[in-house]
Chains A and B, each alone.
Chain A
């Protein structure tokens, strides 16, 4: 087995919240990422899924060192990059690139496409102007853009084509790791498929490693070898894509999977639907113990106090790790579960309280 390309070790990232009150001395802190460890092997695609505010984008930005870490370590190719200075980071940045969600916001509207894609070469001082132009035109062809459109502005391209521009820019320096942060979420379905295909092809051609972030489980499942499900800044469950969908262990993963609307009426009519209670608790004041206990259909007393470690449960292989004290057995029906927990035990802020009955079968 080879060494991991990327190793994330107990990464914590907090953001201070500016208080509206002048006299509020206790400054609140958002725990965006709270102790995440993850390994990414070369050539692999690791999907990060979770709902808004689960910290998946923050984690990505910590890996790319766009944010300084609050604590923890990021190892890239065996080298600790978590405390490198800006200058020392520069060579590392050639190898770690990002593709962003919004193909409109991530391209400067006043610059020509050729110079946007050529930026990485200019910044890293690679090649003469003429060489850069050839390289850029090659790249444009690689990602399926017409190289003759070198001098056009981003506004002259459609959403899907702009995302191709973003991909070309990320690929310019032949990176090893590409972090895709919701790369297809802003695109229409028919265009989404074009970009996913492009990413799959490029991975084969250039041996890329992807960290693929999306809230869309069907997309993540399609591209990922392994998937990490995040909830409130922590990994709830991580495993191969097949195992996650086949033997789902964490109640949150199960709820997330069951909430995904499937484009198949027969399946939609027949399957069990688990409707979770309430909303995501605030990350400024996350629940004690297991963070999911406020919404979990299987919550017990110990969930309120004990923060479960991320480890294999039952007879799962070491690749399948779950942070849950009462994981789901194979074939267990989550819809029948009843939490054994007093309401008074749940300490949560006001917006988190749920409405609909706890779980429902439909």
Chain B
């Protein structure tokens, strides 16, 4: 059994403009000791989904299920959730400065967190553990830096402190929500390295939420691609990068600047993501999809197996046969080339 099983999760918020359906039927599993990457652009619902699982969304309309090791998290009491959060599910967020309390010493914050979950541990022992954790994530002179305040640490160091805190109680699952987005690339490389080492050492499962496909390629075992609150495609890392089925995944990868193709025009996805208020029927990606046909506008495609691979799911009406899908692609390339020759570029939507 998987460590975390999310089934048909739906999250909606009431706003003055109408109901925002942030997550619309999300299902995925996280296996022990593996990394699941959730990729998507802003507004795809990737953060809301994981925040809902850990009970951090307020005032939302939630349905569906999220079973964590036999405990149902959706609708669980605060008491149950508090026991699991920190203890069994650790979390790190994008902005390490606002995740740490500026008034308290870093060590104190870790000690407090350890003691909140383990009432029997002495302050001294907890402090020792905190120092050990800080050295584990690569903070030099951890014993003395434990008495520093958050502002005395750099951005990368703060994110290490956050990881130390999230790992303090040896959780089974670490949810990392854009953990390196605010960091420079060389510092990002350091932080990813720390996460990789900890996973190897402790067998922690990781949900990595990111918009950076480069980070996904480096870190993940499995990938979930989200768009407009729903899963577009799901599969093993190499499958998603080299053998994807869904036009959105294809478009995302194609829009990245390729190596050795300097100065050439890129292939963007036309248009912009839809508003999540009163989404029309059909596939949410249809308005931007170069393959869209009648059915796409009428009915939402189910998340179904493609290319005869039970671990590879795609939510798309295009043929699940690899050869047929390839023909579709060739056909679309031809029509696009003709259209481009015939008329100048349209205004952006």
Contacts and interface: CB of A to CB of B under 8 A. Distances in A.
Given A263-B216, A355-B160, A196 B184 contact: no
A264 B267 contact: no
Interface in A337-362: 350-356, 360, 362
A192 B185 contact: no
Q: Residue among A145, A255, A261 with the most chain B CB within 10 A?
A: A261
B179 to A, nearest CB: 13
A194 interface: yes
Contacts, number: 162
Interface stretch (B20-28, B47-55, B119-127, B257-265): B257-265
A351 B255 contact: no
Nearest to B275: A158
A194 B265 CA distance: 9
A106 interface: no
Contacts of B257: 193, 196, 218-219, 221-222
Contacts of B189: 258-259, 261, 273, 275-276
Contact of A160 (B155, B188, B253, B272): B272
Contacts of B266: 193, 196-197, 222
B67 interface: no
A141 to B, nearest CB: 8
A326 interface: no
State the majority secondary structure of interface residues on A: helix
Contact of B213 (A189, A191, A241): A189
Given A189-B255, A222-B263, A279-B154, A259 B137 contact: no
B262 A242 contact: yes
Interface in B270-290: 270, 272-273
Contacts of B218: 261-262, 268
A146 to B, nearest CB: 5
Interface residues of A, number: 59
A200 interface: yes
B153 to A, nearest CB: 7
B269 A265 contact: no
B88 interface: no
Interface string A224-263: 1100000000000000011000000000000110111111
Interface string B196-207: 100000000000
Given A196-B257, A279-B157, A259 B186 contact: yes
A352 B157 CA distance: 10
A193 B255 contact: yes
B154 A351 contact: yes
B252 interface: yes
Contact of B190 (A51, A256, A265, A275): A275
B266 to A, nearest CB: 4
A216 to B, nearest CB: 8
Nearest to A144: B348
A112 interface: no
Contacts of A221: 257, 259, 262
Contact of A144 (B188, B261, B347): B347
Contact of A190 (B41, B190, B217, B347): B41
A251 B262 CA distance: 23
Nearest to A49: B185
Interface of B: 41-42, 137-141, 152-157, 160, 184-190, 192-194, 196, 211-218, 237-238, 241-242, 251-253, 255-259, 261-270, 272-273, 345, 347-348
Interface of A: 51-52, 141, 144-146, 158, 160-161, 164, 188-194, 196-197, 200-201, 215, 217-219, 221-225, 241-242, 255-256, 258-268, 273, 275-276, 279-280, 350-356, 360, 362
Given A51-B187, A200-B263, 5 more contacts: A193-B257, A194-B268, A218-B257, A221-B257, A356-B190
